């Protein structure tokens, strides 16, 4: 009788704990860096929206941990976080074979300049054509090796906001950022000057969610994220998330990893971006008529 009572008590305890055990198992912590509007210090932004939507499709709760790039890399390599946003760009080249990566979107590196200082330099069509100009880049920019190889005059600065103001004050000629980041910064920091800025597009960079192949759940999370991402692509939710930041009908085709079916526009219009009121996160708060 006593043994039966104890067994019943054990079973009851297991049943009471089971929901919590399930909840704890179905979660993921993703490291992101502060780089609006892709992610910011509140754990908000475009990439966070995509991660939450994709993992929601496979019933996994997402926790966003905002960390500087060097610390995020170490947390990732030591398995203190489950995944690293843009990890394919932030780990060292000799560490990339340790990754299980899922490409999410493409960032569009761009060089912004202030038109009252000089007109768009038409002769600049390749990286080497920037010789003689001073280019400001963010610390840990994945494009730094390309600039060094071409012998460019590059200044590394801690924040994109500082780069923007340095261009405005003629301390540098260009600042490099993802296209969406540059537009967001100008609208947030210098809204009255936004029509005085222009940019040169500079190729593409794939941004992937990276899992470490030795992480105990890496293979499963990698597969589940692929499934969730594919579902939001097919349902149109991914496009809707992107339009929340770029604007309706204004997402460049080059942003998408998969081009079948073709999504986005061939002709991104900067003026259409300016017509929308964006919040601090970069998400559109009020759309143009």
Q: What distance in Å separates the CA atoms of residue 27 and residue 73, rounded to the nearest whole number?
A: 20
Helix axes 46-56, 237-246, angle to 10 degrees: 170
Q: What is the mean pLDDT of the chain?
A: 87
Q: Label residue 21 by pLDDT band (50, 70, 90).
A: very low
Total structural domains within the chain:
2
Instruction: Give the pLDDT confidence score for residue 122 in this predicted structure.
Output: 64
Per-residue pLDDT tens over the stretch 139-189: 888 888 888 888 888 999 988 899 999 999 999 999 999 999 999 999 999
Domain span at 134? 109-201
Domain assignment of residue 263, yes or no:
yes
Name, in order, each residue with C-beta under 8 angstroms of 79's C-beta and a sequence gap of 6 or more.
212, 214, 215, 216
- Find the mean pLDDT for residues 16-23: 49
Instruction: Give the pLDDT confidence score for residue 5 in this predicted structure.
Output: 53
Instruction: Give the pLDDT confidence score for residue 33 in this predicted structure.
Output: 92
CATH number of the domain enclosing 219: 3.40.190.10
Residues 20 and 59 in one domain: yes
Domain assignment of residue 276, yes or no:
no
């Amino acid at each position: 009788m006593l043994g039966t009572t104890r067994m019943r008590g054990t079973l009851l305890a297991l049943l009471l704990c089971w929901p919590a055990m399930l909840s704890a198992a179905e979660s993921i912590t993703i490291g992101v860096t502060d780089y609006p509007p892709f992610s910011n210090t509140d754990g908000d932004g475009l990439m966070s929206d995509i991660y939450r939507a994709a993992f929601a499709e496979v019933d996994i709760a997402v926790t966003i941990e905002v960390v500087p790039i060097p610390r995020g890399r170490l947390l990732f390599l030591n398995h203190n976080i489950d995944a690293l946003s843009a990890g394919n760009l932030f780990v060292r080249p000799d560490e990339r074979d340790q990754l299980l990566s899922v490409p999410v979107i493409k960032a569009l590196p761009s060089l912004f300049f202030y038109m009252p200082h000089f007109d768009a330099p038409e002769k600049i069509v390749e990286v080497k054509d920037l010789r003689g100009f001073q280019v400001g880049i963010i610390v840990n920019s994945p494009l730094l090796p390309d600039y060094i190889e071409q012998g460019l005059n590059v200044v590394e600065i801690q924040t994109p906001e500082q780069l923007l103001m340095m261009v405005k004050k003629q301390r540098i000629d260009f600042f490099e950022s993802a296209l969406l980041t540059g537009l967001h910064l100008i609208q947030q920091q210098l809204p009255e000057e936004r029509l005085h800025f222009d940019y040169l597009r500079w190729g593409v960079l794939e941004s992937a969610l990276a899992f470490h192949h030795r992480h105990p759940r890496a293979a499963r999370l990698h597969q589940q994220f692929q499934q969730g991402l594919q579902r939001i692509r097919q349902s149109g939710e991914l496009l809707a998330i992107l339009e929340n930041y770029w604007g309706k009908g204004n997402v460049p085709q080059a942003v998408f990893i998969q081009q079948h079916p073709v999504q986005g526009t061939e002709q991104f219009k900067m003026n259409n971006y300016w017509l929308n009121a964006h919040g601090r996160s970069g998400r559109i708060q009020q759309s143009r008529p």
